[in-house]
Structure 1
Amino acid sequence: MEDFVVEPCLEINEFEENAPRASFNGLLRDAPSGNTSVVNALSQQLIYQINLIVPDALVSFDDLDVKLGDAAYPFVPPTAKQALQKAIQNRGKRLVVNSAYRTLAQQMLLFKWLNGRSPVARPGESNHQSGLALDIEDREGWLPFLKGSGWQPLAGDPPHIDYQGAGAKDLREATIKAFQQLWNKNHPEEQIKVDGQWGPKTESCLNRSPAMGFEKAPWDDKPRALRLSRPLMEGSDVRKLQQKLKDAGFAISVADGVFGPETGRAVKEFQQRNSLVADGVVGAKTRELMA
């Protein structure tokens, strides 16, 4: 990968082990320091928007035998996921991933919180915004199983590996465009240039963005499949789903916009009652019957 950036990934991963919080109900500039999961809802909007810009650029690997860090978004290109799956199967051991895709919102917070003591990359420049980077435990033990698959170690960054194989697309420009597009969708009176470049205006707008996500979400026009995932799905679409389940008499204690185990059980019960496959995934058919 061109223009790779060496960051103190071990220090960042240790910092992210602080107690995670639910999405902060405020603007990013006021987010409490400690763990970038405070912008979980906005981060999920940004990830979804990237896949609208570059279709199927990122797929989740949370269905593999992996243990994820509290603020790790398990997204890589499809071919990179296949390589991870093969390595895990061949080694017969769980892969511990402390960091994976890192959204622009997360990177800005880390840059703000840690740059004074560690050389954290500027937002949009980190390898973790490329969609091709992972920080894993026992990297040396995994390298023989990843050999020839496109995953390569990054010198000077002990836990870090980058995918450089078939299907690799550097998404660092798209990660900035995703935010710029979402901002413009929600602020027709204050448009910013969608150029994929990090500058003062984009930084100012991101600081003034809600950690719980924008009112007009990227899935409003093209719904996402909702399910129990890691990290937990969060957003306006989950809140609407929970309200529909509550109105239909299913056991949902609170419509908090977080797709947790309780919501997953209610979805399966709804599917069973309607003769659907009870997989807990809210796709087109389940959504149609809930309308």
Structure 2
Amino acid sequence: IVRLLRKKEAIVYPIMTKAATHFLSPLTLQNLASQGVTLKLFSRDIRKAEHLSLAELADACLIAPATANIIGKIANGIADDILTTIVLATKAPVLLAPAMNNMMYENPILQRNIGSLKAIGFKFIGPDRGDLADGKIGLGRMTEPQEIVECLEKIMQSRDDFLGKGFVVTAGPTREPLDRVRFFSNYSSGKMGYALAEEGASRGARIVLISGPTSLDPPSGVEFHWVESAREMQKIIREKMGEADGIVMSAAVSDYAPAKKENGKIKKTTQKKFILELVQNPDILKELGQRKR
């Protein structure tokens, strides 16, 4: 991450907690950043408050990896080391890239802390699913450095006019199964919905992106749900709409679905005609309008 930021001509001021020094030498980080590493809360120069000078100097603050401990401290206003003190003192945007065991990440206490920080403007990216430090595979791996740096750039260029607002965005097509190998769908790429979700997140909104099958990667910083059928999309929307200030329906939802899904593959017969019965899918947009009233 430091190398990538330096390539973009950023001035990087490294800060390390005591725990971080067990994984990486401060000298190594200093050489990468070409700046001295701040390790302690108090400077030898009594006229200089290190945490205040760095807090005022920063255009952005990135915590990578962000442990459950650090997230918990910040969420509860604890400032007992140089990092947490700077975060509480700075007015710059703060981006956290969580990394931890999947069971820790899924803990309700941690999720509550993350939610509290998001509600007051803190940004998060990841974690991703992959190989974890304990040898397991799960959700808790830190997002790749390139993605983190790109997210940081967007945050620094973004506006926060949607801060504190929540939106549900739908995107892509739906698939209505006919049998185990065939389905009805459409050519929707999902690009519009993904672009809207990305823009909303960059402007401070909490975004829930509900997407049908596409070839696109989910934007950073959004809550992502993958669905196939119209009814699956309807179910997730019902679950999430109560938390939203607005809903953007850009998905191309199928109007009809086969009345019956065959258990196996429909085989070719000698009949020259194949009659298929379709039933109407739920009108999700109409339902949302009725609930609003």
Compute the TM-score of the two structures, normalised by the length of structure 2: 0.25
* Greater helix share, structure number: 1
* Greater strand share, structure number: 2
Bigger relative contact order (CA 8 A; separation at least 6): 1
Compute the TM-score of the two structures, normalised by the length of structure 1: 0.25
